[in-house]
Homo-oligomer: A and B are copies of this chain.
């Protein structure tokens, strides 16, 4: 893909489990209805009320594996060897080409894959105010055994190590402030010179190209 063809912002929100990235995403979408949430593909069966192409793109294992082989995912994962989940590249690119911003909420490994395939993606690491807070949030879910919490905490520490590879870091202490920071990043990225298709006329008048 030629960088200058995709003018929307591919905004990747990621971070350790327990950091509240889902909450940040939800609040961001509520306040910015023009931002499109990426639709994932999955091999799990549709649940009642789920709509093809809205909730998910539902695929068989064979279809999913053919798409993997054809390089049609920006990132995917095999969850406990039972189901695949992934972000279809074509769907994201269509939105970006149309000038829409696309939001991806994925884990840190997925984010690294997206950046590799799509270097102009904007990676935002949602960080906890402290590791103590993160641990409390993982315990606080109360739905898991002590063993599971311990494992998730270890994972979270490992995930934190990828923070320096991100473009931006936003601390999720006060939700409202975290969402404002992500909005600021999105607004600034929209002003990137190579994204300013709205300035085509000005460039023509001045005899140049963006």
Contacts and interface: CB of A to CB of B under 8 A. Distances in A.
A188 interface: yes
- Per assembly, the copies of the chain total 2
Contact of A163 (B130, B157, B161, B193): B193
Contact of A188 (B129, B131, B171, B188): B188
A160 B128 CA distance: 43
A167 B185 contact: no
A193 B206 contact: no
Contacts of A127: 199, 202
A151 interface: no
B208 A164 contact: yes
Interface string A124-161: 01011111100000000000000000000000010011
A209 interface: yes
How big is chain A's contact interface, by range?
A: 35 or more
Residue among A169, A192, A199 having the largest count of chain B Cβ atoms under 10 Å? A169
Contacts of A205: 130-132
A193 B209 contact: no
A164 B192 CA distance: 9
A44 to B, nearest CB: 32
A136 to B, nearest CB: 13
Contacts of A189: 188
A210 interface: yes
Nearest to A196: B169
A168 B193 contact: yes
B161 A208 contact: yes
A203 interface: yes
Interface of A: 125, 127-132, 157, 160-161, 163-171, 181, 184-185, 187-189, 191-194, 196, 199, 201-203, 205-210
Given A131-B206, A184-B184, A188-B189, 11 more contacts: A127-B202, A131-B202, A132-B205, A160-B203, A163-B210, A164-B193, A167-B193, A168-B188, A168-B193, A169-B199, A181-B187
The 3 closest A-B pairs by CB, nearest first: A188-B188, A160-B206, A131-B205
